[in-house]
Amino acid sequence: MTAQLLSASRPRERIIETASRLFFRQGYCATGINQIISESGVAKASFYAHFPSKELLAIAWLEQREERWIQQLKERIAQCPSIDKRVAAMYSLWGDQIRNEGYRGCGFINMAGEFSNEESPIRALVRDHKDRVRHIIANDVLSEYQPRMKPSDFDELVNAIYSLFDGAIIQAQNFMQDWPIDSALKASLKLLSQSLPEEG
């Protein structure tokens, strides 16, 4: 049983692992506290001892997901010598993830959709995440193009690649297929190839 496997770790970890799976697969609203505690094999009192509310659990989950995802992304691109390879690595990371996770798309975007109040801490967290990814694209993936381009052109290039990336995630989720990822990668490389005035 799942509970058997999970019982090795401590309650707080079991709760987050279960919540991660359920929030991501079913959505936040559709997942109740009762299901979380029953599937993580934890008493209700223990749950509320660790997380004062369902929303704070969601925040803890997103923070953990954020940390792990950013770390994986940085690891993968750090091993790539060229811009093209780093862009490809970014897409392949996402391709691997979406296949493993059953084409459920981006956990942050999905959560943002369920929290319509833009002042909500969840929404702030999602904005921070997306900003951080954008900065990684600009500073770690495309960095060496920055001094060789007009600043506004560089910004547009970053925006374009980032929109392609998010759009591909949405469409892969929608159609439950991989081709949007591949297409977006190809388009990104095409945009890159015509971004420098002197072609090298």
Partner DNA sequence: CCTTGAACAGACAGGTCTGTCTATATATTT
Partner DNA sequence: AAATATATAGACAGACCTGTCTGTTCAAGG
In the complex, the residues that contact DNA under the rule CB under 7 A are 10-12, 31-35, 41-46, 48-50, 52-55
Q: Under rule CB under 8 A, how many of the chain's residues touch a copy of itself? A: 42
Contacted entry of a copy of itself, DNA, none for residue 32, CB cut-off 5 to 8 Å set by kind: DNA
Window of 7-15, 74-82, 112-120, 136-144 that interacts with a copy of itself by CB under 8 A: 112-120
Cβ contact 37:101 at 8 Å? no
Give the burial string for 124-161 (b: 16+ CB within 10 Å, else e).
Answer: ebbeebbeebeebbbeebbeebeeebeeeebeebbeeb
Cα–Cα distance for residue pair 78/143, rounded to 1 Å: 12
Q: Supply the minimum distance, in Å, between the C-beta of residue 68 and a copy of itself.
A: 21
Q: How many CA atoms lie within 13 A of 153 on its CB side?
A: 12
- Among DNA, a copy of itself, none, what binds residue 27 when CB lies within 5 to 8 Å by partner kind? a copy of itself
- Asked if 140 touches a copy of itself (CB under 8 A), the answer is no
How far is residue 15's CA from residue 2's CA, in Å, rounded to a whole number? 12
DSSP 149: S
* The two three-digit tokens of residue 172, written as one number: 């892969």
Q: Which of 97, 145, 162, 178 binds a copy of itself (CB under 8 A)?
A: 162
Sites of contact with a copy of itself (CB under 8 A): 25-27, 29-30, 104-105, 109-110, 112-114, 116, 118, 126-127, 130, 156, 159-160, 162-168, 170-171, 173-176, 179-180, 183-184, 186-187, 190-191, 194
